[in-house]
Structure 1
């Protein structure tokens, strides 16, 4: 994203689906959100078995933004619970089915 901004290219929205990135403040989510013109939308799935297992083993109890809301508040960060639609899977093809729901809700 920084390279894009340096080259005068801009992102309108960023949507994280099944994101295997730590959700805590070490990622400076507010800074990331400030670099997009629109919103940083984190679609998370509490029932994601892959992220639950990986982060329990490798990240010592931390959670991924694909499984929980991003902890940092910023007006451009939207945390959207997609658990009921995505279910107990980590398939990107299933997570993509949530995109029409973002449109229906007027978030994207």
Structure 2
């Protein structure tokens, strides 16, 4: 899950950690100072888990069409998605595998 060129931010929630990285949706265009749109990737894990080991995280990302005007907007949405995974309200992802496997 980690990449040397990616800046991760972490939020503690209900005994789990939500790790989020915001990034430009596309490269900065010539003549522009900053990207016009942003997206995110993230994962949920237990505190102290090794994200490089299989089965120790529940990864997630923005849907292909989801774009955000600023990095904070993308971050806020990613944290909400992470919370829904932990709360069990996300339609496709769950922390059940982390809980039952003991990692």
Question: What range is the shorter-chain TM-score in?
Answer: 0.3 to 0.5
Question: Greater RCO between the two (CA within 8 Å, min separation 6)?
Answer: 1
Q: In proportion to residue count, which structure has more helix?
A: 1
* TM-score, structure 1 normalization: 0.31
* TM-score, structure 2 normalization: 0.32
